[in-house]
Structure 1
Amino acid sequence: MLELLKRYFGYDEFRPLQAEIIDAVMGGSDTLVVMPTGGGKSLCYQLPALALPGVTLVVSPLIALMKDQVDALKANGVPAECLNSGMSGEEQSRVQTQTHRGEIKLLYVAPERIVRPGFQRFLASIQLSLIAVDEAHCISQWGHEFRPDYRNLKQLRHRAPDTPVIALTATATRRVRDDIISQLAMKSPSVFTGSINRPNLRYAVFPNTDRYDILVERLRKHRGASAIVYRGSQKGCEELAADLDEDGIQALPYHAGLDSQTRQRNQERFVRDEAPVIV
């Protein structure tokens, strides 16, 4: 596995818990991973996917997340693709054909696709070696981001009862962890919990007054770096991005109200450092 790690990801050694998690997955164990963002969760299924004989199906809640991961994997020479609602029928057919030919090792999909009869027939026709459920807390009604579509994964588990599952989340209480295990019908899962300490992050609270001026000052202080700014509404995202642009700070809005092409274009420009700020 170290050879694959070096060849595809450029690392000489594993980060904490990664080797143990990968060993559990390769041993065919159902696995639950609770590890903070940036802790290296994705590698825990991406590396096994390269070593296993068939296809690893990755369930992810957002098109943006899928695209980011697929683009990064392709850049490393890993055969990965996604199927999402923003793709044309021709593009989706191409991906399915490549998967049938054994040319794809990781296939990313949204949870709502799982129940579609056509997709279920497609899954029945391929060799499914591993199911990875990203943002697994979305399956729990006790989680802070419960998504009913994630409950569809129970059907997937019933259709592929012998395919091991790895569920991953950055945060989960004991109640949420137990619910994830139950909803995914995980069999005696190996459970790994990483430290939530993030020494690279700094938290600060500022008074509500003059917050726009404080934001501009901070962005200018870190000019050349990238920044993500969160607002509570789509309108707020649009207005703040426009205000920052007027003040000479190139910013792009990103929210569910944008059409898929604009959202994808803004995401790509941000990732390529063509726009340093996304709101």
Structure 2
Amino acid sequence: MTTAPSSPNTTHELTVRTDDGADLAVTVLAPLAGTPSAADVVLVHGWAHTRRVWGTVADRLIRAGHRVVLYDQRGHGASTLGRTPVSVERLAADLAAVLGETDARESVVVGHSGGGFAALSYAATSPSASRLRGLVLLGTAAHGQDTPDSEVKMMGSAVFSKALRRPWLGRKLLGSTMGKDVDPVVRDVNRQLFAAAVPRVRAEFFRCTRGWDVREALKSVTVPAVVLHGELDKVIDIALAQTLAEVVPGARFEAVPDAGHMLPLERPLLAVSAVSELASR
């Protein structure tokens, strides 16, 4: 369901109900008054994060004239889980629902990590993918995400969640997810997001990519793409991102020096620049 379109300089909150009963919490940000009109941008966060991760990115985009749509993936933040099991295909359908309900046409979709999985699956398989203007893919891959049982178990552990709620310990536990010289405040935002995620949801999401491989389907995608990946990413191997860029026709790959996995927090302006590159085509 939705309500009336937003007016200039407004934040519009709505709920998108999926066909399996999940309620997705969505924010639509209108561009600042007086800025030139630019393409719509849809921001899809990674697992154990929420739309909060896009704060700097969204702010810069609306200042550049973009209408920005951001939402909490199912089970995260203010969004609920639906009736069907979590899968990448299900998350792609959620993205399609958000695009449709917000009337985001000719949009650039920016996906980080698991949000990138959803964006790739949508671009490769959805009949409505023609509405896309471009893809910005941050710290993500098209295959190879067979999360081991030990990591899935940790993500679902109440002990892990309790540790994450202790600032110094949580930052240490998540230290390997980020690169060099990251502001401690930014590191703590990452910790807060992980700590707030429901343990069962974290585990279900990290488990759902076992055997997932969308490379073959991506060969027919004609949407332009920019693939950005931290050189120090220890969550998703940079070689997988390079393969992704090779599979998607015409994609541009860029390795980000000194950055880790959390590019929306570590290098938000690179995401903004990539959107501008695609929106201007």
TM-score per shorter chain, which class? 0.3 to 0.5
Instruction: Give the TM-score normalised by structure 1.
Output: 0.34
TM-score by length of 2: 0.34
Please identify the structure whose Cα radius of gyration is greater. 1
